[in-house]
Structure 1
């Protein structure tokens, strides 16, 4: 009798696969996380010096450079919304391919415009390039939320933001701090082109999970119908609308900070460019690790609670410290700037569960909720620089930072109303409610139903 060899499907998972599953990374998407990290390093290389670079290469001054950043932010906002809606129609992988192509083509056009000192061409090329990274990155986020099981969704999203902010701007700024003295700003921006291409290739060629290859919307849904449905969800489901605003507030100060702080910290306070870029790396280096921590914590203590206490309230305090402590103590106390920078990076990670919370607020239209979530993420890249442009002259840098702190308090107030039955923190309450009913308790069936989480499934949703 001849023994049959086991098939590939019957083989035990490798130690690496078991580890990835244990920490919350969907194993079929693991290479995608690596590719996203490298892609975002390429995108983040410019984050600490793009405004002064444009001012010196055709924009003329920081004000005109900020106009280009604002146009870029509008493009990012629109593309972020499109990435969610179009992923439903075309599949996330196709949307990611389009985003990669846009980034590569218009980055070359932007560098050509900078070399020619042509501000209108620079404005157009940099703005259009803004459609690139959101379609790539947030298309992958849609893929994650379609594949990860509900009980691990917070951790899976935490790993997404670990890769996302690990590149933009953490490791990107660190790379720039090493290459700028050797290659200059212009040469470093050419380097980012190769890094982007490498990350895109790893992600698109390495991930073979089939959910992202196919249409996710029901048959018969047309593009305009899908786009309008996703946008109208904001007022058809007010909690989703509030969650979108919370997502905008989440990173609006971050992008505003990257426009406002380089000149203040490097020149006025006296840190210099190298120490400013190191501070950026510390902020977001701390952030990427706390993205993982709060991703896991939120699956235990609740998505809403994590956002409220650690994200919104935490950031309202830490953003004030990040600006006023260095201004008060000066360049001689650079180590204090590093401490408050790390605090801001840690509290910023408290918003990570919003990517799990928002789709759960609209279980009947998760694709539309993801489109709005991505719209909020992209909107932050516009709102942050726009607030700087509007408030800097009348209120000064301190007034801008105070406005950021107030925004975080508004986000905290809104978050309090974003209770969802899918939040893992309510599972225990649902179990208690079932026990009360069995013992003749006086809790209503409506209360128990509202608090109970949906059934967990390991299959793609």
Structure 2
């Protein structure tokens, strides 16, 4: 069971920004970890294609990797309940490091596609255990009034690294040290970021078992699945979350060759463009989280994310084609697309409010959706690009985003959950009054 203990002394500045002070170094470490994870995002596909791997096999690699990410994303919730988020984050960090070495030594350097496929798939178990267990930790340690803002900072750090700053790092390092050495540098960034988050963050919920005392191990795992039909809103949120970044992972497969071979950009220009897309994304991660606390979660997701994405996706394809070779136009279209992807952030603040007594299970369902998007996007490319081409894939995604706007309108907070939040807020106010009274009684 997820619970928040007595308030931790906080910084007024951090409070206004929506960052829980006790988790500050966790956010910093997550950012560095995801920078390392995102280094390869913009150039792994073209690198493999230039070294003899077919486009179809590249899409298959990304799809199978995404299946592993989906499984691991779902496991992050129940494992955090059983072992505590911090231990699960350590496991994720170790998995990432070990299988990245195998991927580079036995796959990339030998040119063995089968070893690439095996190692890259197993490495896909790593980052969700690290990142989404930290999201569970955030939900355990953050009061409801601040949860959407804290979730915004989580996605700021997450997408700030993958692939925003990761792609910028790659665009700068490839000309200096080469592509293979840049792969290796990502390992160092991941290890440094992981150690910062885990060694410098001491908030107590991270090391606690979060499940209820009378809850069995099997029920912890089953609850993270059965919650999908016990509380159907979580299933809806999961589907909408799949839609959110499915196009992003599809674009990492098809857009490098589109912008380099069709539009005429260099690989470095493509990497810079990708960084611009996600610089916009990380900025609007914060904006959408703050707006959701004020305007409502569903409105931001449905209008800014779903309907915005349905418009932005075709613009990101057609505008660069029409203004051939014009980098500024492509950057503006990409920035708009990145902003619409960020408008889905309030889902991470909304779902724990829908299920206040099962936050880890609800976030596990949402993480499953996030993980599924990593293979659903490439799978749509694999299934439909041979028949309909890139243009057909673009319109398929646009239609999916438009349809998801209707689903989003089902995501309201039930009355029993609202009552729970009112009780929690009253307890928090009473605790703050008592704390203030005890402070007034102390000698100066």
Taking structure 2 as the reference length, the TM-score comes to 0.91
Aligned to 1:401: 394
How big is the shift at 1:183?
A: 1.6
Structure 1 unaligned residues grouped into runs of 5+ = 1-11, 423-445
The Cα offsets for residues 2-35 of structure 1, whole Å up to 9 and x where unpaired, read as: xxxxxxxxxx968xx2211121100000000000
- State yes or no: 1:116 paired with 2:110: yes
- State yes or no: 1:286 paired with 2:280: yes
The Cα offsets for residues 367-401 of structure 1, whole Å up to 9 and x where unpaired, read as: 21011011011011010111111110111101101
Aligned to 1:9: none
- Selected match of 1:133 from 118, 127, 134: 127
- State yes or no: 1:413 paired with 2:406: yes
Question: Which stretch shows the higher mean deviation, 450-459 or 119-128?
Answer: 450-459
Aligned to 1:441: none
CA contact (8 A) 1:421 1:453 kept: no
- State yes or no: 1:93 paired with 2:83: no
Question: Which stretch shows the higher mean deviation, 44-53 or 125-134?
Answer: 44-53
Cα distance in 1 for partners of 2:292, 2:177 equals 42
CA contact (8 A) 2:25 2:197 kept: yes
CA contact (8 A) 2:144 2:421 kept: no
Secondary structure of the residue that 1:364 maps to in structure 2?
Answer: coil
Secondary structure of the residue that 1:54 maps to in structure 2?
Answer: helix
CA contact (8 A) 2:58 2:253 kept: no
Max radius of gyration: which structure? 1
Moved over 4 A (4+): 448-454, 457-460
Cα distance in 2 for partners of 1:255, 1:222 equals 36
The Cα offsets for residues 189-241 of structure 1, whole Å up to 9 and x where unpaired, read as: 00000000000010000100010101000124333321121111112221111
Taking structure 1 as the reference length, the TM-score comes to 0.88
Aligned to 2:257: 263
- State yes or no: 1:228 paired with 2:256: no
Aligned to 1:83: 76
Cα distance in 1 for partners of 2:410, 2:375 equals 26
Q: 1:202 to 1:458 in 2, by over 3 A?
A: farther
The Cα offsets for residues 74-109 of structure 1, whole Å up to 9 and x where unpaired, read as: 000000000111111111101100000000000000
- State yes or no: 1:367 paired with 2:360: yes
Give 1:27-426 correspondences, 5 Å limit: 27-57=21-51, 60-112=53-105, 113-331=107-325, 333-421=326-414
Cα distance in 2 for partners of 1:372, 1:88 equals 14
Q: How many residues align?
A: 421
Cα distance in 1 for partners of 2:413, 2:195 equals 37
CA contact (8 A) 1:32 1:204 kept: yes
CA contact (8 A) 1:52 1:65 kept: no
How big is the shift at 1:56?
A: 3.9
Secondary structure of the residue that 1:46 maps to in structure 2?
Answer: coil
How big is the shift at 1:53?
A: 2.1
How big is the shift at 1:366?
A: 1.8
The Cα offsets for residues 121-169 of structure 1, whole Å up to 9 and x where unpaired, read as: 1110000000010100001000001111111111000000110010000
Cα distance in 2 for partners of 1:224, 1:408 equals 35
The Cα offsets for residues 31-59 of structure 1, whole Å up to 9 and x where unpaired, read as: 000000000000000000111223344x6
CA contact (8 A) 2:67 2:374 kept: yes
Cα distance in 2 for partners of 1:124, 1:43 equals 17
Aligned to 1:433: none
